[in-house]
Structure 1
Amino acid sequence: MVDLIAKPRGRRAAGPPPRLDALAGYLETKPAAALQADNISAWFGDRKVLDRVSLTMPAGQVTALIGPSGCGKSTFLRILNRMHELIPIAKLSGEVRIGNEDIYAPGMRVTDARKRIGMVFQKPNPFPAMSIYENTISALPLTGVKASRAEKDFLVEEALKKASLWDEVKDRLHQPGGGLSGGQQQRLCIARAMALTPEILLMDEPASALDPSSTRRIEDTIAELRGEVTIVIVTHNMQQAHRISDQCAFFLASHNTPGVIVEHGATEAIFNAPRDQRTEDYVNGRFG
């Protein structure tokens, strides 16, 4: 059996080698997809937390969701990959579409939606009992693909390269994922998401618990993934939102009212020429 892990190589040409038959279709390049939310309202019990939120997240771009704590950004993010419905008292209305497909349509399985829409959480959450290698492909059973060891080796290397982690861990792939630094663990979680070859990647404050150096690596990774996947990121760091995003959506909830989008558009316009005074006050640190 060919050992693809033993000898590090440079970047391959696009597409899997012919011998990786089981993964050939799985690894076909999928273009980044636009994500569209229309009239999303959400409740926890009787408390309404989002009110008729609509947002287009363009294909291959980075959309930053900004706003004070408690305005519904993370709830909105979880609605985008059907995590909101896991909470027993949660309800929602509206549509979330990838292209023309509503991910909440009766015929759409949750697993099918989540294969297309990956998620990275605020706190790194690698499986501590699994190795780096095992963590990277832990979601592979969701795909229904039965891959050989050589095929798994290929997928691990590709996913870790996409997460800018391969060069740091290629000689210790079978050591525990929990033994990595916090920033490396977060990039391992990005690799785990990318191993499913998603069209969209959601990120909930992925660098908020990291030191400046690790934060920079996460931001560099986002920049590398731009164009390959559509990224939607929640961040409270205005400098980060300005650095990494193509467009921003400013959420706000006030006086016990549900969260709404006050303004959205190109990042440079949101930061340098906002249309709403509340947006200008927020991005300039006057509240929040």
Structure 2
Amino acid sequence: MTLTETQIAPPLGGTLDARAISAWFGDHKVLDRVSLAMPAGKVTALIGPSGCGKSTFLRILNRMHELVPTASLAGEVLLDDRDLYSAERRVTDVRRQVGMVFQKPNPFPAMSIYDNVLAGLKLTGTRASRSARDGIVEETLTRAGLWKEVRDRLRSPGGALSGGQQQRLCIARSLAVRPRVLLMDEPCSALDPTSTRRIEETIAELAGEVTIVIVTHNMQQAARVSDLCAFFLAAHGTPGVIVEHGPTDVMFDAPRDERTNDYVNGRFG
């Protein structure tokens, strides 16, 4: 595929629908029949204590779960009603449409900021003219809230940036391949408050253009950035399940389940 200057507009987010997802590592079951609809252009936060399967669920949404040799799963993941696990779907295509930002920033340290942004295009075999590449770099760094800080040093190594800047560079790199969904696994857990605020501003700016699913242990962050929440829980060694999900304001102000109320108010977890 070849990109031109007219093909760099961001896509509209897609609707992601997980149906009856169960997951195992070897004989150990970590999720039990989890179903969750993640609407297009909305931010869905996955909350719950450590070890309840949130990150595993997130990795299932773009087929990273299957990278673990002992991993297996049952159920369906649909992006706009198309099964991401169907035999005819290429894994590289799935991960282009459903991008991932990890807990620890992972830019290619010796690669320039410019080349870091474009790395995904090379991995997906997407060709682009020089002017189109320049446009993609400026546009995605702008959308990630980093352009003004790095526009005069695009040829400097990505590893020379601060931790918060590296995380925003990783967001720009994910956006460059035009994903319909962006998964974020605790993207601010290793960052200072100022960098955290900037990442949250970036999430707010991206909402509506890209569907975002974020794992966070920070209840204040979940309340600030998300439209919807899903509360995961794994009790007494049982597999993780969703106790409750719905609009974020309802989940925090008037949850139906007492366990949700206790968790969001810091009584456990």
Fold similarity call, TM over 0.5: yes
* Distance across 1 between alignment mates of 2:82 and 2:140: 26
2:73 corresponds to = 92
Task: Return the offset for 1:154.
Answer: 1.0
Specify which of 55, 76, 79 is matched with residue 74 of structure 1. 55
| Aligned amino acid, residue 30 of structure 2 | V
The structure that is helix-richer by fraction is 2
State the match for 1:16 in structure 2. Answer: none
Per-residue CA deviation, residues 94-151 of structure 1 (Å, 9 max, x unaligned), is 0000011100000000001011001000000000110100100001023432222222
Q: CA offsets, 1:187-237, max 9 Å, x none?
A: 000000000111100000000000000000000000000000000000000
1:27 aligns with 2:8: yes
User: Which residue does the alignment assign to 1:247?
Assistant: 228
Number of aligned residue pairs = 268
Tell me, yes or no, if structure 1 residue 184 matches structure 2 residue 165: yes
Report the 3-state secondary structure (helix = DSSP H, G, I; strand = E; otherwise coil) of the residue aligned with 1:139.
helix
Within the alignment, does 1:61 sit opposite 2:42 as a pair? Answer: yes
Cα distance in 1, alignment partners of residues 47 and 137 from structure 2: 33
Structure 2 residue aligned with 1:8 = none
AA at the equivalent of 2:262? D
| Partner residue, 2:95 | 114
Deviations 1:66-106 (Å, cap 9, x if unpaired)?
Answer: 00000000000000000000000000000000011100000
1:24 deviates by 5.1
Take 2:5 and 2:22, find their aligned partners in 1: how far apart are those partners? 40
Q: Percent identity?
A: 69
Contact 2:22–2:29, Cα closer than 8 Å, also in 1: yes
Query: 2:128 is paired with a residue of what secondary structure?
Result: coil
What is the CA distance between 1:30 and its match in structure 2? Answer: 2.3
Aligned in 2, Cα 1:51/1:202: closer, same or farther, shift over 3 Å? same
The answer for the alignment partner of 1:161 in structure 2 is 142
1:204 corresponds to which residue? Answer: 185
Where does residue 84 of structure 2 map in the other structure?
Answer: 103
Cα distance between partner residues in 2 of 1:97 and 1:209? 31
Between the aligned partners of 2:132 and 2:42, the Cα distance in structure 1 is 30
Deviation at 1:27, TM superposition (A): 2.5
CA contact (8 A) 1:23 1:145 kept: no
**Cα contact 2:5–2:131 (8 A) shared by 1:** no
Segments of structure 2 that go 5 or more residues without pairing to the other structure are none
- Per the alignment, in what secondary structure is the counterpart of residue 286 of structure 1? coil
| 2:127 partner SS | coil
Residue of structure 2 equivalent to 1:174? 155
Unaligned runs of 5+ in 1: 1-20
1:29 is displaced (CA, Å) by 4.6
Q: Which residue of 2 aligns with 1:10?
A: none
Note the C-alpha offset of 1:152.
Answer: 1.0
Q: TM-score, normalised by structure 2?
A: 0.97
Counterpart Cα distance in 1 of 2:108 and 2:4: 24
Q: Pairwise CA RMSD of aligned residues?
A: 1.1
Q: Does 1:279 align with 2:260?
A: yes
2: CA distance, partners of 1:93 / 1:24: 41
- The alpha-carbon deviation at position 23 of structure 1 amounts to 2.6
Map Cα deviations across residues 17-36 of structure 1 (whole Å, 9 max, x no partner): xxxx8335743552211100
What TM-score does the superposition give when structure 1 sets the normalisation length?
0.91
Letter in 2 for 1:262: V
Q: Which of the residues 96, 109, 113 maps onto 1:128?
A: 109
Matching of residue 226 in structure 1 with residue 175 in structure 2 = no
1: distance between equivalents of 2:4 and 2:81?
Answer: 26
Picking from 237, 256, 265, the partner of 1:256 is 237
